[in-house]
């Protein structure tokens, strides 16, 4: 297994932000809704994208991925009639569960493995199943698989709110089934994330009739067939936020290229409170870290709130702020695996339930640490860059699932980071 050796660094220069993984994955699933070719540009070359590509191939598509261009063609004939998405692939990536909606709508039959839990906590799929059943899909769960029949899909009014608010992938799943369901569907408490808006743009280009994506209420009028699409994936707001946190943590000034300022409002606000500044111009963003970081209280919330996917990275910055900060994790109350590792680096963080109380210190010290999940890995890299001495990060394969060429991009900014195979 690869590991990273990271040393105290200061960053400068410009980094180019990749296309969004979380936007690209549901778009890839949407290709199951048509017999025509779908072409996506600016697709990040990541493990998760390749896993989704393999699932589409198992389902009968031909997938070609070269130089950020992903082409998904119909295989010889229709989708494999079994509509089988196997556990070996689904278990490595939860987003593959959003093949269920399109398979039910287009293939009529689906057999999709239930994703398991993961390091960031319990992650149920009850909202996905509720929404699809309310669209009149028949779904049975047996031996770890969802067996679905979508031959009688019809529009419905569906409330998709759960105990932690809206669900991004449940909204994507239900939306993709509804575009081919008979009649009108209204999704209430839909997720408002930019990734849902981007998916809706793709579906509209394919001929779907829908309105309201990006708001909590999406209205869909089912159509009979959908055509192919050519579409560019939007920039990755979480990757952008990660580089912003890296600049703050290392007290550096850097420039991001290829960002959408409108996706980063909550982050901009937090950075301002911490004493830093983000200056946006066209698709560029200049990040300026203050000499002394100020503490801030952060609550993670569904969009447009502060993203849970940036909680770990900003926790690192707050360990270096002058004063006490409070993090409240409202999406995944157990997403604190990085806390113990950061404390090994001399951070002072106390976790109780969904809260982390961070007592800022002057510095962190390098140590051997273990990456537990994708965003926690990114946080440990930032901690390593900010810490005195050398940090060794084990199990960095997590980071390859979601950050394109992370060490190459960081090195270009002047970071001292090496991968040991």
Angle between helices 374-386 and 337-344 (to 10 degrees): 20
Our CB check for ligand UD1 shows the closer of 179 and 199 to be 199
Starting at the edge strand found earlier in the chain, the sheet holding 324-329 runs: 298-300, 324-329, 355-359, 349-352
Starting at the edge strand found earlier in the chain, the sheet holding 416-420 runs: 368-370, 390-394, 3-7, 416-420
Catalytic-residue membership of 118: yes
Our CB check for ligand UD1 shows the closer of 114 and 274 to be 114
**Sole residue written with tokens 């550096």:** 252
Least Å distance, CB 42 to ligand UD1, is 17
Least Å distance, CB 225 to ligand UD1, is 27
Our CB check for ligand UD1 shows the closer of 52 and 413 to be 52
Gap between the Cα atoms of 164 and 95, Å rounded: 18
Our CB check for ligand UD1 shows the closer of 48 and 255 to be 48
Angle between helices 47-58 and 21-30 (to 10 degrees): 10
SS3 sequence, 48-82?
Answer: HHHHHHHHHHHCCEEEEEECCEEEEEECCCCCCCC
Q: Which of 118, 192, 227, 317 is catalytic?
A: 118
Buried b (16+ CB within 10 A) or exposed e, 171-190: bbbbbbbbbbbeeebbbebb
Is residue 329 within 8 Å of 356, Cβ to Cβ? yes
Our CB check for ligand UD1 shows the closer of 1 and 122 to be 122
Least Å distance, CB 131 to ligand UD1, is 9
Least Å distance, CB 22 to ligand UD1, is 3
SS3 sequence, 291-360?
Answer: CCCCCCCEEECCCCCECHHHHHHHHHHHHCCCCEEEEEECCCCCCCHHHHHHHHCCCCEEEECCEEEEEC
Structure letter (DSSP) for residue 287: E
Our CB check for ligand UD1 shows the closer of 131 and 228 to be 131
Least Å distance, CB 402 to ligand UD1, is 8
Least Å distance, CB 308 to ligand UD1, is 5
Gap between the Cα atoms of 393 and 377, Å rounded: 8
Tokens of 242: 């990660």
Q: Which residues are at the interface with ligand UD1 (CB under 6 A)?
A: 22, 25, 94-95, 123-128, 162-164, 167-170, 191, 195, 308-309, 331-332
Tokens of 328: 């409240």
Least Å distance, CB 164 to ligand UD1, is 3
Is residue 58 within 8 Å of 89, Cβ to Cβ? yes
Our CB check for ligand UD1 shows the closer of 240 and 321 to be 240
Tokens of 244: 């912003």
Gap between the Cα atoms of 205 and 69, Å rounded: 18
Active site residues: 118
């Amino acid at each position: 297994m690869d590991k990273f050796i990271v040393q105290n660094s200061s960053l400068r220069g410009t980094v180019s932000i990749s296309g969004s993984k979380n936007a690209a994955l549901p778009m890839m699933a949407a290709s199951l809704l048509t017999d025509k070719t779908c072409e996506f540009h600016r697709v990040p070359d990541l493990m998760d994208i390749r896993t989704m590509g393999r699932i589409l191939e198992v389902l009968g598509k031909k997938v070609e991925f070269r130089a950020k261009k992903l082409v998904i063609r119909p295989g010889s004939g229709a989708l494999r009639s079994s509509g089988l998405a196997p556990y070996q692939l689904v278990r490595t990536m939860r987003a593959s569960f959003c093949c269920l909606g399109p398979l039910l709508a287009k293939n009529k039959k689906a057999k999709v493995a239930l994703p398991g839990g993961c390091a960031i906590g319990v992650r149920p799929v009850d909202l996905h199943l509720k929404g699809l059943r309310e669209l009149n899909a028949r779904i049975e769960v047996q031996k770890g698989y969802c067996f679905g029949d979508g031959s009688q899909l019809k529009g419905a009014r569906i409330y998709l709110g759960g105990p932690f608010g809206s669900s991004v992938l449940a909204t994507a799943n239900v939306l993709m089934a509804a575009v081919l369901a008979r009649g009108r569907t209204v999704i209430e408490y839909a997720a408002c994330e930019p990734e849902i808006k981007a998916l809706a743009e793709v579906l509209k280009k394919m001929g779907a009739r829908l309105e309201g994506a990006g708001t909590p209420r999406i209205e869909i009028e089912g159509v009979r067939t959908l055509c192919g699409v050519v579409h560019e994936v939007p920039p990755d707001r979480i990757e952008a936020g990660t580089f912003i946190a890296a600049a703050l943590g290392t007290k550096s000034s850097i420039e991001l290229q290829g960002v959408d300022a409108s996706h980063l409002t909550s982050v901009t606000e937090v950075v301002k409170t911490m004493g830093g500044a983000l200056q946006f111009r066209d698709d560029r963003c200049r990040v300026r870290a203050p000499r002394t970081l100020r503490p801030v209280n952060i609550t993670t919330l569904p969009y447009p709130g502060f993203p849970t996917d940036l909680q770990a990275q900003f926790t690192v910055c707050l360990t270096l702020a002058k004063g006490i900060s409070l993090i409240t994790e409202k999406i995944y109350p157990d997403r604190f695996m990085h806390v113990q590792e950061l404390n090994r680096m001399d951070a002072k963080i106390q976790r109780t339930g969904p809260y982390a109380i961070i007592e800022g210190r002057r510095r962190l010290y390098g140590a051997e640490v273990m990456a537990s999940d994708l965003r926690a890995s990114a946080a440990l890299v930032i901690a390593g860059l900010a810490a005195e001495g050398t940090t060794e990060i084990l199990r960095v394969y997590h980071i390859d699932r979601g950050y394109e060429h992370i060490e190459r991009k960081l090195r270009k900014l002047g970071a001292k980071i090496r991968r040991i195979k």
